[in-house]
Structure 1
Amino acid sequence: MIPFLFITLFAASTWFIQSYYKNQLAQFKIDALNDNDISKDKYLQLIKAQSDQKLMVLSSKVGELEANIERLNMLGERIIEKSALPKEEFDFEALPASGKIESVATDDSFQSSVLLNDIENLDQHLIKKEKQLQRLEIAINNRHLLDELYISGRPVKGKGSWISSLYGTRKDPFSGKLRSHRGVDIAGPAGMPLIATAAGVVVEAGQRGGYGLMVEIQHGNGLATRYAHAIELTVKVGEIVSKGQQVAVMGSTGRSTGPHIHYEVLKNDRQVDPDYYIHRVAG
């Protein structure tokens, strides 16, 4: 009887232990699966957060590129307005289509590809705008250079001057005889600034017979100007001068009866009437 009870108890204990450990093993597997699912969820959440962050960075980049293009457009339009260049030659009005997002879409891969495409398109727009601005800079520089080389206006700065003798035949103030006058005389107070009527290179600066103290400037295309009877010269031979720059001071040196400038315009080394150049407007 006792052995039977012992065997029965041993069998029951064994069953109980096996059942307990089976249940524990099953619970462990369930817990492990749950933990694995949680890890997967955390991993997916991390990937989603990173995707969201990348999308927002891309969206911010799109907005930055669009803002840069808009600034370039505004700059180009202002430059064209001030330069008086033909506006139709330079397109600074059109804005590229926007791909900027305010919230992240559910299909992140699709949204990313859209933004990357927008960034590529905007980059091409920036390259185009840069080339347009380079063309505009060249056009302005060429226009400025032409204006600088364009002989125009009086060779005096300030008020109080007047044309006292025109180009052509006149009575010589010293001999009283008729004599050819190869320039225009502009009288004014001594000390008045004398300015270059166009940009060029100083080829002569000093004393020259009846001209007194004189400056001669070469402007290219066979054109030159002379500024005579000065009391003082402010430039030297070889110096590059800009339009409107002072080159001398009005005086009465050389063959002169009073403070004035004898102004000549030469075309292919021959004097021509300066009146045309004095009264024309630059540009």
Structure 2
Amino acid sequence: MSITVIYSREEKDHTFSLTKNRFLLIPFLFIILFTTSTWFIQSHYKNQLAQFKITALNEHDISKDKYLQLIKIQSDEKLIVLSSKLGELEAKVSRLNMLGERLVEKSKLPKEEFDFETIPATGKVEKVASNDTFQSSLLLQTIENIDLRLIKKEKQLTRLEIALNNRHLLDESFISGRPVRGKGSWISSLYGTRKDPFSGKLRSHKGVDIAGPTGMPLVATAAGVVIESGKRGGYGLMVELHHGNGLVTRYAHAIELTVKVGEIVSKGQQVAVMGSSGRSTGPHIHYEVLKNGRQVDPDYYIHRIAG
């Protein structure tokens, strides 16, 4: 088969003959062209996709590095803060040690009962180690050690507090000193046998008389409970305190009473005002100390030192 194609250009005719063999070659050329174009397009997009993946991976790596760097910074900051807190805890332990030592010394308690002499190291960790895991473990171990030491100090201070409270209670109930407050008083009559100021005859005097100006405060010589507050015969206005262990004190010839029955008073608290009520020749206090119901010489208690 022969096909003739005639086309005109520039007023000339051109003839092209297409034989059967040439005609069959046309589809084959189209296939080659299509295949080549497809391969080129696929290669182009594969290269773009690969480049995109590389770019994405690079950006991911950069983001990952930034994230890790941020985590590292935050970790370092936490370690620094934690180190600072440890320094503060160490300082607190040190202050507890010094406080305990001063309290033991002041209270005159046996020092061997309270171990406050070991002074712990103080101060924060100045430099954070490069190995965060190791540093964190070290700080956690330090925290545990400090916690144990604080528990120990707390127990020691609790024992010390109990001991001091017991000592305070003993001191409070320890009868000592004069039953007056202020200057201008003097002992006018001692315990024992003396001439009665009214009859002139020898009589037993069961207390100590302390003279002074009217209105001088009369104070408890030990902590106790008011078991009597009122007027009683020759005693005049009188206060009687019970201190436990069979000990009682009396404060007589007052012009005014400042406590009531059942009231708890502390050592040194005012219980009355000096006067001359009852069988008295002038302003003074008749002071008695009773042990198991019997009067004893108050002079021993007046001059003894508490503690």
Q: 1:99 to 1:121 in 2, by over 3 A?
A: farther
Q: By percentage of residues, which structure has more strand? A: 2
- Choose 84-93 or 145-154, whichever is displaced more: 84-93
SS of residue paired to 2:204 = strand
Match of 1:47 among 57, 71, 83: 71
Cα deviations across residues 129-149 of structure 1 (Å, max 9, x unaligned)? 222221221111111111111
The letter for the 2-side match of 1:216 is: E
One-letter amino acid of the structure 2 residue matched with residue 212 of structure 1: G
1:253 aligned residue: 277
Stretch deviating more after TM superposition (44-53 or 241-250) = 44-53
Deviations 1:6-30 (A, max 9, x none): 7776666555434433432332232
Q: Distance in 1 between matches of 2:258 and 2:88?
A: 52
TM-score normalised to the size of structure 1? 0.89
Identical residues among aligned pairs (%): 82
Measure the CA separation in 2 of the matches of 1:127 and 1:79: 18
Query: In the alignment, is residue 72 of structure 1 matched against residue 91 of structure 2?
Result: no
1:106 aligns to 2:130 (yes or no)? yes
1:170 aligned to 2:191? no
In the alignment, structure 1 segments of 5+ residues that lack a partner are: none
Matched position secondary structure for 2:48: helix
Match for 2:49: what amino acid?
Answer: L
Is the aligned partner of 1:30 residue 2:21?
A: no
Which has the greater radius of gyration?
2
Measured in 2, the distance between the counterparts of 1:44 and 1:189 equals 86
Which of 208, 214, 220 is residue 238 of structure 2 equivalent to? 214
C-alpha distance in 2 between matches for 1:143 and 1:81: 14
Residue 240 of structure 1 corresponds to 264
Partner SS for 1:103: coil
Q: Indicate if the aligned counterparts of 2:87 and 2:125 stay in contact, CA closer than 8 A.
A: no
Q: Among residues 142, 146, 149, which one is paired with 1:125 in the alignment?
A: 149
Match of 2:223 in 1: 199
Bigger Cα displacement from structure 2, 149-158 vs 75-84: 75-84
Quickly say closer, same or farther: Cα 1:96–1:213, change in 2 above 3 A: same
TM-score scaled by length of structure 2: 0.83
Structure 2 unaligned runs (5+)? 1-21
Aligned positions, number: 283
Equivalent residue for 1:264, pick from 273, 277, 288 = 288
- Provide the residue aligned with 2:9 in structure 1: none
The match for 2:303 is 279
- Partner SS, residue 85 of structure 1: coil
How far residue 181 of structure 1 moved from its aligned partner, in angstroms, is 0.9
* Aligned partners of 2:180 and 2:217 also within 8 Å: yes
SS of alignment partner, residue 198 of structure 1: coil
In structure 2, distance between residues paired with 1:209 and 1:140: 42
